[in-house]
Amino acid sequence: PEEARQKRIELDAQVRRKHREQLITAKRIKHNLDAYQDDDAEVLRVKNILHIAESEFDLTFQDIEKLKSGLNDSDRESRLSSLKDLSTYLADPPDTLNHFVVNDNCIDILIVCFLITFRLTALSLQDQAAWAIGNLAAEAPECRDLLRANDVLVPLIELLNSKTTCFALSNLARGPNANLDEFFSAGITQHLLFYLEAEERMRPFNHGPLALPLIRTLGNIASGPDDNTDILIQQPDFLPVMLEYIQSDCSRRPEVLIKVFNTGFIPILSTIATHTNFDIRKEAAYSLLNIASHGEEYMRSLPHQDLLPEFVRSQDIDLIRLGLGYIELLLTQVQNGQQLMEQMQGIDALESVTLLEEPSLRDTSTRLMDKYFGEDFYSNINEVQLVE
């Protein structure tokens, strides 16, 4: 048994090393929902709800020329249609589109669409342009550098009037080299806090959906150097506003959870957490973990068999960390949590995390292995087998 265990550990380490190399050398992992045939109806349902596009696009140079022509068309509807197509393609751009973005006038076109003078009649154009900019900013640090070099930051901040614009700014603020000084110089803190500081201000303009991307943008800023955090703290309204959002009156109300279950959110969130791209997977995983934290009754209702292996065997550190939190809830709140872990091969998945280089993940997984699956656990299993 010990020799087999050692072989399994070595094999798992080799697989993870290979996956890490693939992540480093590849621009992005491509996820195709059609590859999951275990529940076609559920995948289709998620596609319909989220309007998920195909994960790969095959655009010829003729297609790009047609797209460019539509973006420059004098007809507003034609421009809007082309902007929607561009936003979709930028979610997973082929090489031909990358060439258009990097070496052609794609960014100039987007900025022009975003800065159209007649905002009331061109709001949908502006929104689609912001959406395309946000997708482009999410692609790579080089794309974010290119956008900032084309002076897209200031107009985005000055026209911070929609969730889509917040989404674009949030993506531009990502990464260790986000040049956040430019955000502060453009006055982003005043704009963000304007929408966050008072519910009465947000209600007449229907700005409730702005909250999450606004807070995300502030979080990205605060995750940088300490000077950034100091600037935020110096804003008189910042900490009181954050406190209001943390103390949401919906966070512990059981009727809210009951509605989530009765509306059928759990299978949809589970599918998103296991079948889509990293960013949205983490959001779904956070939601499921929040649900699980409400106690055994809710924990038992989650599809552990599907979720745990996907979380813990992921290549994304944040998702693995969420998975470890999920495992700890399962082991502490569910009476037969250890047996459930064994049945779904969760012990092997947890053991594989002990081999990771990330100290916090390795320490947490080792602690859980020692506490719940040490010698006493296997001794009890052997005793049960002997009795049987």
Choice among 64-68, 74-78, 265-269 with the minimum mean pLDDT? 74-78
Q: Residue 7's pLDDT is what? A: 63
User: Which residue type does 272 have?
Assistant: I
Q: Residue 248's pLDDT is what? A: 58
Choice among 6-10, 41-45, 280-284, 322-326 with the minimum mean pLDDT? 41-45
Between CA 63 and CA 117 the distance in angstroms is 29
Does the pLDDT of residue 386 top 60, yes or no? no
Choice among 31-40, 154-163, 373-382 with the minimum mean pLDDT? 31-40
**Domains of the chain, earliest start first:** 2-50+252-380 (1.25.10.10), 61-246 (1.25.10.10)
**For residue range 198-253, what is the model confidence (pLDDT) as tens digits?**
444 444 444 445 566 666 667 767 766 677 777 777 777 777 766 666 555 555 66
Region 167-176: what's the mean pLDDT? Answer: 80
**For residue range 114-152, what is the model confidence (pLDDT) as tens digits?**
665 334 445 577 777 888 888 888 777 888 888 888 778
Region 18-41: what's the mean pLDDT? Answer: 43
Does the pLDDT of residue 21 top 60, yes or no? no
Q: Residue 84's pLDDT is what? A: 80
Q: Residue 26's pLDDT is what? A: 36
Percentage with pLDDT > 70 across the chain: 65
Task: Give this prediction's pTM.
Answer: 0.41
Does the pLDDT of residue 19 top 70, yes or no? no
* Averaged confidence pLDDT in the chain: 71
Q: Measured between alpha carbons, how far is residue 142 from residues 5, 8, 145, 257 in Å?
A: 43, 39, 5, 41
**For residue range 295-330, what is the model confidence (pLDDT) as tens digits?**
888 888 888 888 877 777 777 788 888 888 888 888
Q: Residue 31's pLDDT is what? A: 40
3-state secondary structure the chain: CHHHHHHHHHHHHHHHHHHHHHHHHCCCCCCCHHHCCCCHHHHHHHHHHHCCCCCCCCCCHHHHHHHHHHHCCCCHHHHHHHHHHHHHHCCCCCHHHHHHHHHCCHHHHHHHHHCCCCCCCCHHHHHHHHHHHHHHHHHCHHHHHHHHHCCCHHHHHHCCCCHHHHHHHHHHCCCCCCCHHHHHHCCHHHHHHHHHCCHHHHCCCCCHHHHHHHHHHHHHHHCCCHHHHHHHHHCCCHHHHHHHHHCCCCCCCHHHHHHHHHCCHHHHHHHHHHHCCHHHHHHHHHHHHHHHCCCHHHHCCCCHHHHHHHHHCCCCHHHHHHHHHHHHHHHHHCCCHHHHHHHCCHHHHHHHHCCCCCHHHHHHHHHHHHHHCCHHHHHHHHHHHHHC
Looking at per-residue pLDDT, the higher value among 382 and 239 belongs to 239
Between CA 34 and CA 44 the distance in angstroms is 9
Q: Residue 57's pLDDT is what? A: 64
Cα 166 off chain centre by: 15
Does the pLDDT of residue 34 top 60, yes or no? no
Q: Residue 87's pLDDT is what? A: 75
Looking at per-residue pLDDT, the higher value among 196 and 268 belongs to 268
Q: Residue 22's pLDDT is what? A: 47
Q: Residue 4's pLDDT is what? A: 60
